[in-house]
Amino acid sequence: MPAGVLEAIEAQVVGVARHRRRLVASGQHLKRGVLLHGPPGTGKTHTLRYLMSVLTDTTVVMLSGDALQLIAPAVSIARALV
C-alpha cells in the first residue's frame, strides 16, 4: 500500500465516526460506504479488518470477489441494519 493511503482512509472513515454526535446534531447523515479496489495482495481485506476493529459499533457488510454483483442487495441490508 502506498505511503499515506491507510492514514487517508482512517481520517475519512474513523474521523467521521469520532465526530458522530456533532455531525448528527448538525443535521448530517452518517450513511457512508467504503469501496476498496485493487489487485489481490494490496491490503484491502487487512484494511477493512483494521477499520472493523476500531469501529466496533458500526454496521459492516463486506463483499469480495465474485460477490460484487450483490452490491444492491448488500446496500439494502446495510440500510435496514442502521
Listed by start position, the domains of the chain span: 5-81
pLDDT in tens, 37-59: 888 888 888 999 999 999 888 87
DSSP 8-70: HHHHHHHHHHHTHHHHHHTT-----------STTSSHHHHHHHHHHH-TTS------GGGGGG
pLDDT in tens, 57-77: 887 888 877 787 888 898 888
pLDDT number for residue 31 = 75
Asked whether 36 and 48 are in contact (CB, 8 A), the reply is: yes
pLDDT in tens, 9-26: 888 888 888 888 898 899
Alpha-carbon gap, residue 12 to 10, rounded angstroms:
5
**Residue with the larger pLDDT of the pair 57 and 8:** 8
pLDDT number for residue 26 = 93
Grid cell locating 52: 472493523
